[in-house]
Amino acid sequence: MASVVQDAPKLREVGLGNRHRTSSAEPRLYTAQHLVLSVRVLCRRVTAETRQDADMGFLSGKLYFCAIKDVCSGRVVGYSIDSRMKSLLAVQALENAVQVRGDVAGCVVHSDRGSQFRSRKMLRALVRHRMVGSMGRVGSSGDNAAMESFFALLQKNVLNRRTWITREQLRIAMVTWIERIYNRRRRQARLGRLTPIEFETIMNTTVATAAWLGVMSRGVVSAIRS
C-alpha cells in the first residue's frame, strides 16, 4: 500500500487519477459460498489515434483487451492486450489469472459467446486447469454486468483522459490503472468500502483463522474422548 501512495503524484502527472465516486453502503456479511472463485471474461476493442510523428514514425492502431474479474472480491486477476483479436488473447488472460490465483480447480469461468471463448485452445486451457466453462445466453447483456461496469470505468479513467499516440502508451496506462488504482485504491461499496486487495487480505486471514480453530477444536474433542 505504501508504494501506491508514493506513486500517486506520478499517476496524476500522466492523468491516471480515479474519477469515479462510489456511494457509501453498509458492509455486507460474507459466508463461505462467497469464497468460491468465479471469474467473468469479456473482450473490448480500444482504439489509439492514428497520426504521423517525426520521432515515433507512423503509428496506428487498435488494441484488443481481454480481462478476467473475480466477482467475489471485484479484483481483476488476469488480462491480456494485443493488436489482434484471436483465441490466444483469451487464453493468455486465463493463464495470467491462474498465475495470480494458483489452485483454480473447480472455478467457474463465465464469458459471452464470442468465438475466442469457444475455441479449442480456450477449451483445452480450461480442461488443463480443471476449470468449468460457462457462457451467457444469446442476447443477454446482463450476464456480464460486472465486466461492463469495469470497462465503463476503464473508458472514463484511462481511454477518455487524453489522446493516445501509440499502442504502447495506452497499454502501459491501462495496466497501471488496473494494478495501482482499480485493484488497490478504488473502494467498492459492495465490499464494505474496502478495495479488492483489502477485501481479499481480510477474507484470507478469516479463512485461515477459521481453519486453524477447526483443527484445534477437533484436537480438543479428540483429547476429551481419549
- 192 in a domain, yes or no? no
- 174 in a domain, yes or no? yes
Determine the pLDDT at residue 9. 43
pTM check: above 0.85: no
- 120 in a domain, yes or no? yes
Chain segment 206-215, per-residue pLDDT in tens: 765 665 555 5
Determine the pLDDT at residue 42. 47
Instruction: Look up the CATH number of the domain holding residue 56.
Output: 3.30.420.10
Rg of the chain on CA atoms, in Å: 20
Q: Which band of pLDDT confidence, cut at 50, 70 and 90, is reported for residue 26?
A: very low
User: What is the number of domains present in the chain?
Assistant: 1
Which range of residues forms the domain containing residue 40? Answer: 36-186
Strands (DSSP E) along the chain, which ranges? 38-53, 57-70, 76-82, 108-111, 132-135
- 18 in a domain, yes or no? no
Q: Averaging pLDDT over each range in 60-64, 75-79, 133-137, 179-183, which range is the top one?
A: 179-183
Determine the pLDDT at residue 180. 96
Determine the pLDDT at residue 116. 86
- 110 in a domain, yes or no? yes
Average confidence score pLDDT of the chain: 72
Chain segment 70-118, per-residue pLDDT in tens: 888 899 998 988 888 888 989 999 999 999 988 888 888 888 888 888 8
Q: 64 - beta bridge partners?
A: 45, 82
| Residue 151: φ, ψ to 5° | -70, -30
